[in-house]
């Protein structure tokens, strides 16, 4: 009868993912003179290789995603920070416009105003530093086009050639990217700088720079 329980011999044979039964593959391998165990070992090795490749791709994807998220967090404020540097520059210009003699002789009201502007400038720079923005200090360093923008040359035989001798506008970096290069004046006419031993850098010039900020 149709509802009778089938014997193990009458049950459906095991089928492999490619649609052939395991017995059929084994019979074919034996007929071709191939060791079925070698076939199975090769299939297992192939599956293991595919699994390892998939795991490696997932790990690479995870690392790339982590780096992209980190960069997005670190450099998302680049545009805003660059705009805030303009505010800081204007505060500094306002302070520098007041002669030192007038500052010394200023009455209590003017002195308090000056002190307040200086506090605002310091606080602004502190907040930028908390967000990864760091001021460059190029004065006295060898000119580095990665960090500095030469505005003019200054005849000076007392320091090595191409040494930064004047900073016109401060430069800043955010992380490992240049947010704004320092505008500087460089020396001309001095002796050539002696080559530095390999592995030694000059301040920020030894860093790896990304100018994409």
- Tens of each residue's pLDDT in the chain, 213 residues: 445 555 544 554 444 445 455 566 556 555 666 677 777 888 888 888 889 999 989 989 888 888 888 777 777 788 888 899 999 999 999 888 888 888 888 888 888 999 999 999 999 999 999 888 999 999 999 999 999 999 999 998 888 999 999 999 999 999 888 999 999 999 988 777 644 544 444 444 444 455 555
What is the CATH number assigned to the segment(s) 134-193? 2.30.22.10
Question: Contact, 150 vs 114, CB < 8 A?
Answer: no
Residue boundaries of the structural domains of the chain: 18-76, 77-131, 134-193
Question: Contact, 187 vs 162, CB < 8 A?
Answer: yes
The dihedral built from the CA positions of residue 67, 69, 74 and 77, taken in this order, carries a sign that is: positive
Question: Contact, 74 vs 174, CB < 8 A?
Answer: yes
Quickly tell me which residue has 């760091």 as its tokens.
134
Tell me the C-alpha distance between 21 and 35, whole Å. 17
Tell me what pLDDT residue 15 has.
44
DSSP string, 64-93: HHHHHHHHHHHHTTHHHHHHHHHHHHHHHH
Tell me what pLDDT residue 120 has.
94
Tell me what pLDDT residue 25 has.
59
Question: Contact, 164 vs 138, CB < 8 A?
Answer: yes
Tell me what pLDDT residue 75 has.
77
């Amino acid at each position: 009868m149709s509802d009778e329980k089938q014997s193990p011999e009458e049950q459906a044979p095991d089928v492999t993912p490619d649609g052939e039964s395991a017995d059929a593959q084994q019979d074919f391998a034996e007929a071709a003179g191939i060791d079925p165990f070698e076939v199975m070992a090769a299939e297992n090795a192939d599956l293991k290789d595919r699994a390892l490749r998939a795991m490696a791709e997932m790990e690479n994807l995870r690392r790339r995603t982590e780096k992209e998220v980190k960069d997005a967090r670190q450099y998302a404020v680049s545009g805003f920070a660059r705009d805030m540097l303009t505010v800081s520059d204007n505060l500094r210009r306002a302070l520098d416009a007041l002669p030192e003699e007038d500052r010394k002789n200023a009455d209590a009201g003017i002195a308090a105003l000056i002190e307040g502007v200086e506090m605002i400038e310091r606080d602004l720079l502190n907040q930028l530093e908390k967000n990864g923005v760091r001021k460059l200090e190029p004065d006295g360093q060898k000119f580095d086009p990665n960090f500095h923008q030469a505005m003019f040359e200054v005849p000076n035989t007392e320091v090595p050639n191409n040494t930064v001798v004047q900073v016109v506008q401060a430069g800043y970096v955010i992380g490992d990217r240049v947010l704004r290069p320092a505008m500087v004046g460089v020396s001309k006419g001095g002796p050539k700088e002696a080559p530095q031993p390999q592995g030694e850098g000059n301040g920020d010039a030894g860093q790896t720079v990304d100018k994409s900020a």
